[in-house]
Amino acid sequence: MRVPKPRGALSQWLGARLTGTGTAGTAPAADSPEDEAIALWTLHELSYRGFEDADDRAEWDPEVLHVRHGLEVALEDRLRQRWADAAPADLPAEVPAALAALVDADDGPSLATYVRREADRDQVLELLRQRSVYHLKESDPSAFVVPRLPVRAKAALMELQYDEYGDGDPNRLHAHLFARGLEAVGLRPEYGAYVDDAITENLEMNNAGSLFGLHRRLRGAAMGHLAAFEMTSSIPSRKMVQGLERLEMGGPMAAYYDEHVEADAIHEQLAAHDICGTLAEDEPDQAADILFGAWTCLDVEARFATAVLRSWGVSPQ
């Protein structure tokens, strides 16, 4: 993958800095939320697979890290403010029950419901291009958290991640199944292929996951985020299968979602109880962040779904 196209002054500066083509000088302020989002996405990507045209040492370049820090502080403040404004007052004390209550209370619009009955082929292709930004690195943000967990949560996260990564079989690795699906519907399967098309809400959703995964301090939020993701996956995945089959887009892409109907029915139990539940018992100070991370996962998905549906002229409900 190459450094994404700039979307404003900051991402322009960053691209030049990473590829060594820019003039020296300090980073300008971002022009827009979109500029900010693509800049932070790019900075995080340096810790995943990087860019063929960027210097790999940029990941730990103090000046680049300084920019990343500023963007991360702004993102975390924004996410925490949203949570503070929306947090229900009467959540159960036990973390697994509180997670279930947050998921039950989620009233964000469902893209999968729309795909199941109404979306046309072009809309589904557009959605898959957007989703590819995450699914081609599926589970990678949570993998950063493994060494930061106490014994029980660590073992449980590995039990879950082992399944995400194909149970030892590269053919069954979830990100690879998604790449095969993209190819089968005529889209590009390469890692990062559609980042330049990603809308701001999608970038923010991905940035939130990376922020949580990359900071040890935010391990609770990362695991809450994972739990909410898994707890809202089986039923929507089934709707995606039905929508893809309705549009005669079955085959490998439907197989990717089909795998998630079954896998995530397991993963949600592991994530809520064995990971988040034991983490909160072993490190009680993480309980609040587990819920913050879970709610944020639901909220950024709702914002993304709302933006996508509006762009299609559908009123989100």
Partner 1 sequence: MRDRDFDHPEVVLCKDGPMLLRGATSVQDADGTVHPVQRPVVALCRCEKSSRLPWCDGTHKVIPKA
Interface of this chain with Fe ion, residues 223 to 282, rule: CB under 5 A: 230, 264, 267
Q: Is 35 or 268 the residue whose CB approaches Fe ion more closely?
A: 268
| Residue from 24, 84, 89, 151 in contact with partner 1 (CB under 8 A) | 151
Indicate whether 177 belongs to the interface with partner 1 (CB under 8 A). no
Q: If contact means CB under 5 to 8 A according to the sort of partner, which of Fe ion, partner 1, none does residue 174 touch?
A: Fe ion
Number of residues that bind partner 1 (CB under 8 A): 23
> Would you tell me the crossing angle of helices 252-269 and 234-246 to the nearest 10 degrees?
170
Q: If contact means CB under 5 to 8 A according to the sort of partner, which of Fe ion, partner 1, none does residue 261 touch?
A: partner 1
Indicate whether 146 belongs to the interface with partner 1 (CB under 8 A). no
Q: What is the residue-wise DSSP string for the chain?
A: -PPPPP-SHHHHHHHHHHHT-S---PPPPPSSHHHHHHHHHHHHHTTTT--TTS-GGGGG-HHHHHHHHHHHHHHHHHHHHHHHHH--S---SSHHHHHHHHHHH-----HHHHHHHT--HHHHHHHHHHHHHHHTTTTHHHHTTGGGS-HHHHHHHHHHHHHHTGGG-GGG-HHHHHHHHHHHTT---STTTTGGG--HHHHHHHHHHHHHHH-GGGHHHHHHHHHHHHHTTHHHHHHHHHHHHHTT--THHHHHHHHHHHHHHHHHHIIIIIIIIHHHHH-GGGHHHHHHHHHHHHHHHHHHHHHHHHHTT----
What's the half-sphere exposure (Cβ side, CA atoms, 13 Å) at 50? 11
Interface of this chain with partner 1, residues 234 to 253, rule: CB under 8 A: 234-235, 238
Q: If contact means CB under 5 to 8 A according to the sort of partner, which of partner 1, Fe ion, none does residue 238 touch?
A: partner 1
Indicate whether 167 belongs to the interface with partner 1 (CB under 8 A). yes
Q: If contact means CB under 5 to 8 A according to the sort of partner, which of partner 1, Fe ion, none does residue 273 touch?
A: partner 1
Q: How far is the CB of 105 from partner 1 (least distance, A)?
A: 13
Q: How far is CA 36 from the centre of its chain?
A: 17
Indicate whether 106 belongs to the interface with partner 1 (CB under 8 A). no
Q: Is 202 or 232 the residue whose CB approaches partner 1 more closely?
A: 232
Q: Evaluate the CA torsion angle 76, 79, 82, 87 in order and state its sign.
A: negative
**Residues 27-66 vs partner 1: string with x where CB under 8 A?**
----------------------------------------
**Residues 153-182 vs Fe ion: string with x where CB under 5 A?**
-----------x---------x--------
Indicate whether 264 belongs to the interface with partner 1 (CB under 8 A). yes
Q: If contact means CB under 5 to 8 A according to the sort of partner, which of partner 1, Fe ion, none does residue 11 touch?
A: none
Q: How far is the CB of 279 from partner 1 (least distance, A)?
A: 14
Which residues make up the interface to Fe ion (CB under 5 A)?
Answer: 164, 174, 230, 264, 267
Q: Which residues are at the interface with partner 1 (CB under 8 A)?
A: 151-152, 155, 159, 162-163, 167, 169, 172, 233-235, 238, 261-266, 268-270, 273
